[in-house]
Amino acid sequence: MTPVEGLAYDKAMTFQVQILGVGDYFTEIHNYSSFVVNADGRFTLVDCPDGLPRIIKEMNRVADIGVRPEKINHIILTHLHGDHSNGLEGIAYYKKFLQGGKKPVVYSIREVLKDLWSGKLKSAMKNLYSGPSERIGTLPVRELLKECEGVKLEDYLSVIPLEFNKTNRVNNLEVEVRSVKHHVPTFGFKAKYGGKALGYSSDTFFDPRLIDFLKDCDMIVHECDFQKTSPHRGIHTDYHELLRLPESIKQKIFLIHYPDTANQRDSELKLLQQSQVYDIR
Ligand SMILES: [Zn+2]
């Protein structure tokens, strides 16, 4: 679970994460919290911030393990807060217009999926012109809009529900999910590959039962708002609660979704660093 330095590495038998962003919703210096899981060259994006192509390009300047927007076809969506989901519209258009209509697969729990279209994407995406461009100039605006109507979620994305109390297949990962304590329906998960496991808390208030669920993972990505140093208190995890965990668990925890005021010098727990790659071992 050490950061991998530099650009060159062995891509065979790989299970690792690369960090797109580490910030909370109020960050001025980071990207929003998101990461890519690389399991032997197959990528699974965890949450989908806006501006994904730019973020990926910037990330690759620091460490390039082959992540490209074209290779992001599987997305785990933990909840619908904008910092975790606002990039779905962009990646769907990217696939549709730049990758020949390819549809990314979005994996989430049913409580999230039921609102994904009607409560999130529909207002901007329900209209799409697909006729010849020569006609656009001849159409009055009202008629043009009429012709654009009728597009559905399935025209952009495939969605696969993640079930509780079973092992779900996500790309080439085996994933178990658990509801967490947040403002809106949200889940944490364990993703297994090649005998190793990655755990992710997603956004949550500190929950000992979630820790119990994640404790057998080899690497645990946990959100943390540091509370006492954060001006933005909400349903998030207090750093001091994590500090009270057994040493064996603390060693495996890597913090994400932290405020701009957090820094490694003042933290006993490890802070994930944007663009860096971490092997899960
Ligand atoms: Zn959230």
Cα 81 to ligand 1 centroid, rounded to whole Å: 5
11 pLDDT tier (thresholds 50, 70, 90): very low
For tokens 């074209």, name the residue.
Answer: 70
Q: What is the 3-state secondary structure (H, E, C) of 102-132?
A: CCCEEEECHHHHHHHHHHHHHHHHCCCCCCC
Residue range 39-98, pLDDT digits in tens: 999 999 999 999 999 999 999 999 999 999 999 999 999 999 999 999 999 999 999 999
Q: How far apart are CA 204 and CA 223, in angstroms?
A: 7
Mean of the pLDDT values across residues 173-193? 97
Residue range 210-260, pLDDT digits in tens: 999 999 999 999 999 987 666 666 789 999 999 999 999 999 999 999 999
Closest CA to 4 of 63, 68, 67, 66: 63
Identify the pLDDT of residue 190: 98
Mean of the pLDDT values across residues 25-52? 97
Identify the pLDDT of residue 226: 86
Identify the pLDDT of residue 228: 67
Identify the pLDDT of residue 57: 98
Identify the pLDDT of residue 8: 44
Cα 47 to ligand 1 centroid, rounded to whole Å: 11
Cα 242 to ligand 1 centroid, rounded to whole Å: 19
Mean of the pLDDT values across residues 197-215? 97
Q: How far apart are CA 187 and CA 110, in angstroms?
A: 11
Q: What's the chain's average pLDDT?
A: 94
7 pLDDT tier (thresholds 50, 70, 90): very low
Cα 86 to ligand 1 centroid, rounded to whole Å: 12
* Beta strands, E only, 129-276: 158-161, 168-170, 173-179, 187-193, 196-200, 219-223, 253-256, 270-271
All domains in the chain, ordered by first residue: 3-279 (3.60.15.10)
Cα 200 to ligand 1 centroid, rounded to whole Å: 13
Cα 82 to ligand 1 centroid, rounded to whole Å: 8
Q: Is residue 12 predicted with pLDDT exceeding 90?
A: no
Mean of the pLDDT values across residues 190-210? 97
Cα 98 to ligand 1 centroid, rounded to whole Å: 30
Asked whether the whole model's pTM tops 0.85, one would answer: yes
Of residues 4 and 53, more confidence is placed in 53
SS3 for 167?
coil
Residue range 132-154, pLDDT digits in tens: 999 999 999 999 999 999 999 99
Cα 270 to ligand 1 centroid, rounded to whole Å: 21
Cα 139 to ligand 1 centroid, rounded to whole Å: 42
Gyration radius from the chain CA atoms: 20
Cα 204 to ligand 1 centroid, rounded to whole Å: 8
Chain centroid to CA 222: 13
